[in-house]
Every structure is written in structure tokens, then in C-alpha cells.
Amino acid sequence: MKSFFNLCSLGFLFSWCSAEPLKEILVWDGAAPLETLTPQPGADPRGVVGAEGRRSDVFSPTFVPWPAARPNSPVVIVCPGGGYNKLAEQHEGVAVAKRLNDLGCTALVLRYRVPRRSENTPWVQPLLDLRKTLEIARVRAGEWNGDSKNIGVVGFSAGGNLAARLAYAPAEVNVDRPDFVALIYPAYLFFKDEPNSVLREGPEGVVPTTEIKKLAPAFFAHSADDPYPAEASQAMGALLKSMGAKVEVHVWAGGGHGWGATDRCVASREWTQLMGLWMKDRGILAK
């Protein structure tokens, strides 16, 4: 027994004893608000995972906690992408949670509602799910070795759009917002997915107003050859910087879209460590 405990002590130091997720937690006690679709009879309302590992048909959103090894760690809500139609919850969820644990963070992998409830405003119900998850995390962070005053969001593609809306969307000024965000190849920041487009402004947009007094620091990671243009991340980063936010933007020459926490390209291998250095530089993560 003594050798086992010694090994695990070393594991905490070197991320050798791998973290394990806890049981998933329902976001809503009852029916999720503003629901407009009806699940198939007998279907699991928490969603169905297909052969490709993507979750679909989520009517009862949940999140899975991955506690950090140490108390008072940063908490990161993870929002996988999937075009607001499915959730790529393996390489943009589970694998991300493991990397965040290695950095010293608690991760909460969110399974927000999909598919789209609206073609024009597909983020409405998922944003409610994300806000409620942030509310729960503020209260229960300590249960997962997290710091309730140090909670951020990392989002991928559509999940990056969702994270940007939680942090910066102007529609509701007096709502709780994350303490930091990481937007990984975020989609739909531009009106059109073209390099020469412009950021979505107005009540349904992502551009913050001056009424939001404290803008969360932001980390961006994108590939220059992504069909969802990296210019959107650069434009959003420049705007936030002009408004006083602390911003860091990384753009790699290649990689395309949807690389997540994989070994597919240089960007997919490097972004997590760069995010960890940024978090330390900002005082979010202990050095």
C-alpha cells in the first residue's frame, strides 16, 4: 500500500495518475426553458452518441465535472462544437478536459441542447444552458476543487461562438459573465464566413457595448486555412483590446478546422500549453 500512495503522490506532480470524471449533472431541475422541439418517444433526453462519437438530440442538457487535483483551481466550462446541430464531445470535450486537468484546472464538459431550435438564432437555448451551468459552478465549484471566483469558458467552433456570447453579447447587460474565455476557431463571429466580412453587431451579435464594464480576458487559437476565417478571431481580438480587454491571438498557417485536442496538426498540439502560459501570465493559473 505504501508504494501505491507514493506513486500517486508522484502522479499528482507529473499528471501521472490520470483524472477521472464524476457523474454527469443535470443543468435544469425540470424542463429546460424555451424548448421548441419534442424528443422521440423513448429516446434518452440527454442525447444519443453516434458511431463517430458525436452527441445529438439533447433535450436535457448536462455537464460532466473533471475535478482538478488541488483545491481552489481555475474552473473551465468546455463547450464542444458541432454547428449547433451535434456535439463533438470527444476531441473537443473529453480530450480537452484531460489536458485542462494536466494544466491544473477543473473542467466541466457541457452537453448543451442540440440540434438547432432555430436556423437564424441557434444559440438561444444553448446560451441559456451555458449561463445556468455558470450559475451552478459559482455555487458548487468547491465540490470539484474549483475556485468560484475564477471560472472561464473554452469553446470550439459553434461552442466558441457560444462562449463569446456568454462573455460579450450585448443583449443582456446585468448577467453573470465568465472571468476569462478561450475561443478556439470560433464560428459565426462574422456576418458571413468570409475573410472580408465584419463582426456581428447589434442585439443578436457578439460585439460588446460600453455598458459591460469589465470585459473578460480572451485567448484565441485559429488556423489561417480554416473555412471559418481566422480574420474573425483577429478582428474580435483587436476590438476587445481597443475596449481595454487583455487579449492574446494565435494563428497557425495550417490545420484547417475542428482539430480540438488531437495530434492532427501543430495547432492542435500546441494551443493548450500556450493557453496555460497565457493563464499564468494573467494570474488565472498559479505559476
Q: Tens digit of pLDDT for each residue in 176-192? A: 999 999 999 999 999 99
Reported as a single tens digit per residue, the pLDDT across 188-197 is 999 999 999 9
Residue 5 reports pLDDT greater than 90: no
Position 51 scores a pLDDT of 80
Count of the separate structural domains present in the chain: 1
Answer whether residue 107 is part of any domain. Answer: yes
Q: Which residues are CB-contacts of 279 (< 8 A; sequence separation ≥ 6)?
A: 74, 103, 105, 180, 219, 285
Residue 171 reports pLDDT greater than 80: no
* Residue 211 binned pLDDT confidence (cut-offs 50, 70, 90): confident
pTM: 0.93
Answer whether residue 287 is part of any domain. Answer: no
Determine contact, residues 83/115, Cβ cutoff 8 Å. Answer: no
CA 259 to chain CA mean position, Å: 14
Place of cell 426553458: 33
Whole-number Cα distances in Å, 148 to 40, 111, 138: 37, 21, 5
Place of cell 466541466: 108
Mode of pairing for the β-strands spanning 180-184 and 146-156: parallel
Burial class (CB in 10 A: 0-12, 13-18, 19+), 92: buried
Answer whether residue 73 is part of any domain. Answer: yes
Answer whether residue 10 is part of any domain. Answer: no
Position 9 scores a pLDDT of 35
* Residue 11 binned pLDDT confidence (cut-offs 50, 70, 90): very low
CATH of the domain at 169: 3.40.50.1820
Answer whether residue 2 is part of any domain. Answer: no
Answer whether residue 116 is part of any domain. Answer: yes
Determine contact, residues 199/238, Cβ cutoff 8 Å. Answer: no
Q: What is the mean pLDDT of the chain?
A: 92
Reported as a single tens digit per residue, the pLDDT across 79-104 is 999 999 999 999 999 999 999 999 99
Position 141 scores a pLDDT of 98
Answer whether residue 5 is part of any domain. Answer: no
State mean pLDDT over 153-172: 95
Instruction: Tell me how far apart the alpha carbons of residues 136 and 64 are, in angstroms, rounded to a whole number.
Output: 12
Return the number of other C-beta atoms located less than 10 Å from residue 170's C-beta: 18
Whole-number Cα distances in Å, 279 to 183, 217, 255, 282: 13, 10, 24, 5
Torsion of CA 66, 89, 29, 151, to 10 degrees: 50
The domain of 139 spans 19-281
Instruction: Tell me how far apart the alpha carbons of residues 182 and 51 are, in angstroms, rounded to a whole number.
Output: 29
Q: Which residues are CB-contacts of 186 (< 8 A; sequence separation ≥ 6)?
A: 155, 156, 157, 160, 161, 163, 164, 220, 222, 228, 232, 233, 236
Answer whether residue 7 is part of any domain. Answer: no
